[in-house]
Amino acid sequence: MTTKTGNYLNHFRNIGIAAHIDAGKTTTTERILYYTGRTHNIGEVHDGAATMDWMEQERERGITITAAATTAKWTRAGQEYVVNIIDTPGHVDFTIEVERSMRVLDGAVAVFDSSQGVEPQSETVWRQADRYGVPRIAFSNKMDKTGASFELVLNDIRERLGAIPAPVQYPMGQESDFKGIIDIVRQRAYTYTNDLGTDIEEHDVPAEYADKVTEMRAALIEAAAEVDEDLMMKYLEGEEPTVEELVAALRKGTIEKKIFPVLCGSALKNKGVQLLLDAVVDYLPSPLEVPAIKGTLEDSEETREFPADPNGKLAGLAFKIMADPYVGRLTFVRIYSGTLQSGSYVYNASKDKRERVGRLLKMHANSREEVTELKAGELGAVIGLKDAGTGNTLIGDGDEHVLLESIDVPE
Binding site for ligand GDP (CB under 6 A): 19, 21-27, 90, 141-142, 144-145, 266-268
Residue 105 or 224: the one with the smaller Cβ distance to ligand GDP is 105
Residue 60 or 208: the one with the smaller Cβ distance to ligand GDP is 60
Question: Is 14 annotated for ligand binding?
Answer: no
Q: Which of 251, 280, 379, 246 is nearest to 76 (CA)?
A: 280
Residue 147 or 343: the one with the smaller Cβ distance to ligand GDP is 147
Question: Is 142 annotated for ligand binding?
Answer: yes
Minimum CB distance to ligand GDP, residue 29 (Å): 8
Residue 255 or 264: the one with the smaller Cβ distance to ligand GDP is 264
Question: Is 24 annotated for ligand binding?
Answer: yes
Question: Is 11 annotated for ligand binding?
Answer: no
Give 203's strand partners.
189
Question: Is 322 annotated for ligand binding?
Answer: no
Question: How far is the CA of 191 from the CAs of 173, 202, 206, 214, 272, in angstroms?
Answer: 11, 7, 11, 19, 10
Exposure letters 156-190 (e unless 16+ CB within 10 A, then b): bbeeebebebbbbbbbbebbeebbbbbbbbebebb
Question: Is 211 annotated for ligand binding?
Answer: no
Question: Is 91 annotated for ligand binding?
Answer: yes
Minimum CB distance to ligand GDP, residue 197 (Å): 10
Question: How far is the CA of 366 from the CAs of 24, 70, 76, 270, 323, in angstroms?
Answer: 21, 10, 22, 19, 18
Separation CA 16–CA 155 (nearest Å): 24
Separation CA 370–CA 120 (nearest Å): 41
Residue 61 or 356: the one with the smaller Cβ distance to ligand GDP is 61
Separation CA 266–CA 268 (nearest Å): 5
Q: Are 68 and 85 in contact (CB under 8 A)?
A: no
Residue 164 or 268: the one with the smaller Cβ distance to ligand GDP is 268
Minimum CB distance to ligand GDP, residue 308 (Å): 30
Question: Is 87 annotated for ligand binding?
Answer: yes
Minimum CB distance to ligand GDP, residue 129 (Å): 16
Characterize the bridge pairing of strands 107-113 and 136-141: parallel
Residue 144 or 228: the one with the smaller Cβ distance to ligand GDP is 144
Minimum CB distance to ligand GDP, residue 96 (Å): 20
Minimum CB distance to ligand GDP, residue 265 (Å): 7
Q: Are 87 and 68 in contact (CB under 8 A)?
A: yes
Minimum CB distance to ligand GDP, residue 268 (Å): 3
Question: Is 22 annotated for ligand binding?
Answer: yes
Minimum CB distance to ligand GDP, residue 91 (Å): 10
Question: Is 23 annotated for ligand binding?
Answer: yes
Residue 14 or 116: the one with the smaller Cβ distance to ligand GDP is 116
Residue 175 or 373: the one with the smaller Cβ distance to ligand GDP is 175
Minimum CB distance to ligand GDP, residue 195 (Å): 13
Question: Is 90 annotated for ligand binding?
Answer: yes
- Please list the alpha-helical segments (H only) found in 209-294: 210-227, 229-236, 243-255, 273-283
Q: Is 217 helix (H, G, I), strand (E, B) or coil?
A: helix
Q: Are 121 and 21 in contact (CB under 8 A)?
A: yes
Dihedral through CA 322, CA 323, CA 326, CA 332, nearest 10? 20
Q: Which of 361, 330, 333, 356 is nearest to 343 (CA)?
A: 356
DSSP assigned state of 285: P
CB-based contacts of 14: which residues, under 8 Å, 6+ apart?
Answer: 84, 86, 104, 105, 106, 107, 287, 334, 377, 379
Question: Is 16 annotated for ligand binding?
Answer: no
Separation CA 247–CA 175 (nearest Å): 29
Dihedral through CA 19, CA 21, CA 24, CA 27, nearest 10? 110
Residue numbers in the known binding site for GTP are: 19-26, 87-91, 141-144
Residue numbers in the known binding site are: 19-26, 87-91, 141-144
